[in-house]
Structure 1
Amino acid sequence: MRIRAQVAMVMNLDKCIGCHTCSVTCKQTWTNRDGTEYVWFNNVETKPGIGYPKGYEDQEKWKGGWKLDSHGRLQLRSGGRLKRLSRIFANPDLPTIDDYYEPATFDKDILVNAPAGRTDTPVKQPYSQLTGEPMSVVWGANWEDSLGGATGLDDPNLRAVSDKVKFEFEKTFMFYLPRICEHCLNPACVSACPSGAMYKREQDGIVLVDEDRCRGWRMCVSACPYKKVYVNHATGKAEKCTFCFPRLEAGQPTICSETCVGRLRYLGIVWYDEDAVLAAASVPESELLDAQRSAFLDPFDPAIQQAARDAGHPEEWIEAAQRSPVWKLISEYRIALPLHPEYRTLPMVWYVPPLSPVLDAAGAAGRDDTDADDIFHTIDDLRIPVEYLASLFTAGDTAVAGGVLMKLAAMRSYMRARTLDGSVAQELLDGIGMTGEQVEAMYRLLAIAKYDERYVIPAAHARDAAALEAQAAAQTDCSLDCEGGPGMSDFHLPQQPTRRRLPINPIRGRS
């Protein structure tokens, strides 16, 4: 057994209001500069919807992630090493700028300098930030915001449930899905990189890019099934979410977590067995969720604690793993689920699925909203179909997705009864196999947890400080610590329209 620590995140989708604050603060922190105009390390999608880039979940088209070959062995969907090398100069599985969106800017001088006597209203003309030419804005990273299925029929997740889900106005459903890099245990981007520039940090599992070694082959973009690796068109280098590792090393949460209005994000440490990763990613599709959970190690097990000490992990990290909200939500309460486990990357950003107003739905159906059987039967009639959630989080297993929703519904009903008359709904507890103390602890974590309960991140250990500083100085620790990276350029608001500054778009070629 090789014990490793992984910084992981869980998002409670019931609390996301789609305000995009996380996206904006991430953009201002990491990608507010030339070459990254179209890049969003964090974006919030409306589901159902085709997402950003368009249709990124369609792996039949993009060939991202892993699959099992005819012998049951793990293989990249993009092909073996020889196949990838044969296409290194002409990779056909890359999204174009139209699949993302062409970023625009505006010549605001038209408004500021408009003559006072004009009888018409001056209008800002959008200009492409890539070519500098006039353009029409027809798509964007959050173009589907709150549309509730207007483009949902093109959502790959609806293929299996399209007969049941009808987009009639009164039946339309939607929810928000924030996305960042998954910092997977079995990252396809790392395996696909021909130059070895993509790597997974040994101390905390964060996946980064060594800019000095990156040659811009873009195989990492193809291999990532979540399409969370981007190419800076000004530098030709790959860039991606860094999990805000400089903040984590100081014991602070990621910027998206810190600024989240809904307080839906949880950060913590998870121990896992590195030797179990390959086996966990190679099981049949129906077993992937349990296999990944089985790779996680119990931080309260004395044998695991001693193994962590023997591996050189600081005592503070062992204590942080025991207080980790991520461990509780994934392995103790078992209500957090990974995004598309069928990609076999073993993602480490998990989600608590959204639960429709189940008590209201039970009442509307003439059922007793205090009866366990009535509540559990209502799960199948909720506005957000269980089949759709299963296609996102459990590789189509509706029993697992429904079981999570039942736990969340039982928690709501139990806490409601406790608040109203102090009663204990024992049949609800029996139905989900939890004690009253566990349900109340789960409620506290999901609903009213304080700052230090949501973010349990140990600061970089003192003895590692010198090594971390040396890595940063050598530019091998940060995917963006390079010319043109954050803080490395004299970024300022241009006096002239951006169209005069960026005449070349390497994504499309020269204009």
Structure 2
Amino acid sequence: MRPMAQIAMVMNLDKCIGCHTCSVTCKQAWTNRRGTEYVWFNNVETLPGQGYPRRWADQNRWKGGWERTRSGRLRLRAGGRARRLGTLFANPDLPTLDDYYEPWTYEYKNLIDAPAGDDMPVARPVSQISGEPLDTLQWGPNWDDDLGGAPEHAPKDPLVEKVREQVGEKIRFEFEQSFMFYLPRICEHCLNPACVSACPSGALYKRVEDGIVLVDQERCRGWRMCVSSCPYKKVYFNHATGKAEKCTLCYPRVEIGMPTICSETCVGRMRYLGVMLYDADKVTEAAAVTDEHDLYPAQLESFLDPRDPAVEAAARASGISDDWLEAARRSPVFDLIRTYQVALPLHPEYRTMPMVWYVPPLSPVVEAVAASGHDGEDAGNLFGAIEGLRIPVEYLAELLTAGDTYPVEAVLRRMAAMRVHMRARNLGEEPDPAVAHSVRLTGDELEDMFRLLAVAKYEDRYVVPTAARADADALADSHPLDAACPVGAEPGRPVLLNLAPTRRTV
């Protein structure tokens, strides 16, 4: 056992209202300068839809993530070292600007400075890349929001194409038959990041102390192999600096115990931030399991229980501080992923072992059952309706469990059981213990799960230790940067933007 700590995030899709507040605040904090006009470290997509960049989930096209060879080893889908070196100057798997969108502004000055006259002044769209007027706007980062143009764009969703043969008429795009939900996305800060392995210059690295994946701007040479190898397309190229950039999980905030800016400003309070302990010795084995349906349970098994005395002792021996252990014990992320098992990873079939997980959305099933003349809050009716949800379980499974519907159904049943249990409690009735037992939980656990998912306070949703900041300050005091390297850094390699010990992993 080799315990390591990772800052992880869970998003409750049942509460996301698609307001894009997280995207706007992230944009203002991190990508509001020249060269990042088209870059959104955080974006919110409407599903079904093509996403941003368009069809990012189509790895047959983009060759992102890992694949398992016949011998049982993992290799990058982008190819081995020889192929990547051969395409170093002409990478065929890069999204174009059109796949993202050509960012634009408007000639607002015309509206202000236009002389008085009979004609109404207009503000034409102007490209933020070239400065030239744009005749027509073709695409944007939220072009298919709220089923915008669903009959035209939604069938091009790679997940819809994949499952349509299975579910047939369950996925239809006539307005009255449509379904939708929102998917906020950031960098997954994976345990097995493909972008780190693909970088020829070694500029991308995963911090040992908290698992955050960053780009060393000094080392980056702009090869963009990280862009093509990231299956989530969350690494971007800054055309002004010639460097790669990505979500930093707001590490300057995390280091002082504050949540990420997207979490802090989330209107729906649907984000959770906390510490997960995992066994580093199990990562490669878990990512290389034969059956893609086993990837989710394999990653689940790689997580360690911080309340286990043996894990606690091994973590201390590995250098994990008491502050981090206490944060891991109080982690809302651990409870949602391991204790209640209602959060699932995004596209585990990419074998990167992502660390941003999602609670799947529960369709308005109560109203649907009630409309049929039955009690929508009755456990039997509610459980029976899950297979007929407006959002097909098969679609959610392709998104979160590599196509395996069983874990998704189990999560939806637990959420439905929580709803039934809390309805009885709120009406002053005695909840039926059989409801909780049917989903392998107790009544107390359902109530704890409700408090976490529905009414958790700020300090319960974000449990971020500050030990890294204290350690960094102590390190800076004892070893001036001009006299010595930080602990774990390579000699002669500057540690950019942060004082926390920054180490590269292989």
Secondary structure at 1:250's aligned position in 2? coil
Change (3 A) 1:427 1:367: farther
Deviates more, 1:259-268 or 1:458-467: 458-467
Report Cα offsets for 1:25-56 as digits up to 9, x if no partner.
Answer: 00000000001000000000000000000000
1:376 maps to 383
Say if 1:369 and 1:413, in contact at 8 Å, map to a contact too.
Answer: no
Alignment of 1:322-341 (within 5 A): 322-341=329-348
Say if 1:48 and 1:155, in contact at 8 Å, map to a contact too.
Answer: yes
CA distance in 2, matches of 1:478, 1:80: 32
Alignment of 1:22-41 (within 5 A): 22-41=22-41
2:501 maps to none
Report Cα offsets for 1:180-201 as digits up to 9, x if no partner.
Answer: 0000000000000001000000
**What amino acid sits opposite 2:115 in the alignment?**
P
Say if 2:324 and 2:467, in contact at 8 Å, map to a contact too.
Answer: no
1:269 aligns with 2:288: no
1:10 aligns with 2:16: no
Report Cα offsets for 1:95-122 as digits up to 9, x if no partner.
Answer: 0000000011222111001122x11211
2:364 maps to 357
Alignment of 1:57-76 (within 5 A): 57-76=57-76
Say if 1:282 and 1:344, in contact at 8 Å, map to a contact too.
Answer: yes
Say if 1:372 and 1:427, in contact at 8 Å, map to a contact too.
Answer: no
- Kindly state the Cα deviation for residue 171 of structure 1 after the two structures are TM-superposed: 1.3
2:236 maps to 230
2:215 maps to 209
- Kindly state the Cα deviation for residue 425 of structure 1 after the two structures are TM-superposed: 2.0
CA distance in 2, matches of 1:474, 1:195: 13
Say if 1:359 and 1:413, in contact at 8 Å, map to a contact too.
Answer: no
Structure 1's unaligned 5+ residue stretches are 480-511
CA distance in 1, matches of 2:439, 2:162: 28
1:134 maps to 133
**What amino acid sits opposite 2:222 in the alignment?**
G
CA distance in 1, matches of 2:156, 2:86: 32
1:86 maps to 86
**What amino acid sits opposite 1:343 in the alignment?**
Y
Say if 1:13 and 1:351, in contact at 8 Å, map to a contact too.
Answer: yes
1:465 maps to 473
CA distance in 2, matches of 1:330, 1:180: 18
CA distance in 2, matches of 1:301, 1:357: 39
Deviates more, 1:237-246 or 1:150-159: 150-159
Say if 1:212 and 1:476, in contact at 8 Å, map to a contact too.
Answer: no
Say if 1:229 and 1:239, in contact at 8 Å, map to a contact too.
Answer: yes
CA distance in 2, matches of 1:191, 1:342: 17
CA distance in 2, matches of 1:179, 1:251: 22
- The correspondence for 1:196, drawn from 202, 205, 226, is 202
Normalising by structure 2, report the TM-score: 0.92
Change (3 A) 1:458 1:169: same
- Superposed CA RMSD in Å reads 1.6
1:491 maps to none
- Kindly state the Cα deviation for residue 370 of structure 1 after the two structures are TM-superposed: 4.2
- The correspondence for 1:291, drawn from 266, 273, 298, is 298
Report Cα offsets for 1:157-189 as digits up to 9, x if no partner.
Answer: 112332131112211100110000000000000
Secondary structure at 1:253's aligned position in 2? coil
1:168 aligns with 2:188: no
- The correspondence for 1:392, drawn from 391, 399, 402, is 399
- Kindly state the Cα deviation for residue 466 of structure 1 after the two structures are TM-superposed: 4.2
Secondary structure at 2:200's aligned position in 1? coil
Change (3 A) 1:475 1:101: farther
CA distance in 2, matches of 1:70, 1:340: 21
Alignment of 1:100-179 (within 5 A): 100-116=100-116, 118-135=117-134, 136-147=136-147, 149-150=150-151, 151-162=153-164, 163=168, 164-179=170-185
Say if 2:23 and 2:262, in contact at 8 Å, map to a contact too.
Answer: yes
- Kindly state the Cα deviation for residue 137 of structure 1 after the two structures are TM-superposed: 1.8
CA distance in 1, matches of 2:378, 2:147: 35
Say if 2:21 and 2:266, in contact at 8 Å, map to a contact too.
Answer: yes
Normalising by structure 1, report the TM-score: 0.91
1:476 maps to 495
- Kindly state the Cα deviation for residue 475 of structure 1 after the two structures are TM-superposed: 4.9
Secondary structure at 1:159's aligned position in 2? helix
1:416 aligns with 2:423: yes
Change (3 A) 1:357 1:445: same
CA distance in 1, matches of 2:109, 2:496: 41
CA distance in 1, matches of 2:43, 2:495: 26
CA distance in 2, matches of 1:369, 1:325: 30
Say if 2:44 and 2:183, in contact at 8 Å, map to a contact too.
Answer: yes
- Kindly state the Cα deviation for residue 421 of structure 1 after the two structures are TM-superposed: 3.0
CA distance in 2, matches of 1:59, 1:93: 10
- Kindly state the Cα deviation for residue 138 of structure 1 after the two structures are TM-superposed: 1.6
**What amino acid sits opposite 1:123 in the alignment?**
V
Say if 1:197 and 1:213, in contact at 8 Å, map to a contact too.
Answer: yes
- Kindly state the Cα deviation for residue 19 of structure 1 after the two structures are TM-superposed: 0.6
Secondary structure at 2:27's aligned position in 1? helix
Say if 2:321 and 2:467, in contact at 8 Å, map to a contact too.
Answer: no
- Kindly state the Cα deviation for residue 375 of structure 1 after the two structures are TM-superposed: 1.3
**What amino acid sits opposite 2:160 in the alignment?**
L
Report Cα offsets for 1:87-146 as digits up to 9, x if no partner.
Answer: 111100000000000011222111001122x11211101111111111122211111111
2:444 maps to 437
2:261 maps to 255
